[in-house]
Amino acid sequence: MKASTQAKLWYAQRISAMLLALCVLVHLVTILYAMRGGLSAAEILARTRGNFSFAIFYFVFVLSVVVHAPIGLARIAEEWMQWRGRSLHIALLLVTLLLTVLGLRAVWGVYVG
């Protein structure tokens, strides 16, 4: 991979990290708030279904994760498994696709249904 591509990937990971820092903060507060008194699916879905500001928030959250995580995983594969090159890039492309599909399905399920 070209050095300029690697440099752009680094930047993409850091920009997504900035978004994620905000998203995780909101997510943590949401978790702590929602967990009080236990969770039932009906309760969760009653709160979430049709809540479009949260839907958009989690849409952004998922996309940031999809950018952020595979770049980090690539570093780990290269450094700790000595796995480099084309096969790694294809594997990470699949991971990216998997996370995108699963993540968007989850947002759709919880917020739109």
Partner 1 sequence: MSAETLNMRRNDWRARGNAGYWAFVVHRISGIALALFLPLHFWALSTSLQGAAALDGFLLWTDAPLFKFAEWGLVILLTAHMAGGIRLLVIEFGQWHGTRKLWIAVALAASVAVGVLLGAIMLS
Partner 2 sequence: MVGLSLMRPLKVKIWRGGQQGAFVAYEVPRLASQSVLDVVTYVQRSLDPSLSYRFSCRVGMCGSCAMSVNGVARWTCRTHVAKVTDEARDDVLELAPLSNLPIIKDLTTDMSEFFDKWAKAKGQFTGTLTRDDEFSNVKPDSPERKKVDAAIECIGCGVCYASCDTVSWRPDYLGPAALNRAWSLVNDVRDAAQNDRLKSVAGDSGCHACHTHTTCSERCPKGIEPTAGISGLKRLAARAAIRGELD
Residues that bind partner 2 (CB under 8 A): 1-11, 14, 75, 78-80
For residue 28, what are its two tokens? 């943590």
Report the partner that residue 53 touches, choosing among partner 1, partner 2, none (CB closer than 5 to 8 A by kind).
Answer: none
Q: Give the nearest distance from C-beta 5 to partner 1 in angstroms.
A: 19
Percent of residues in the chain assigned helix, strand, coil, to nearest 5: 85, 0, 15
Report the partner that residue 65 touches, choosing among partner 2, partner 1, none (CB closer than 5 to 8 A by kind).
Answer: partner 1
Q: Give the nearest distance from C-beta 9 to partner 1 in angstroms.
A: 15
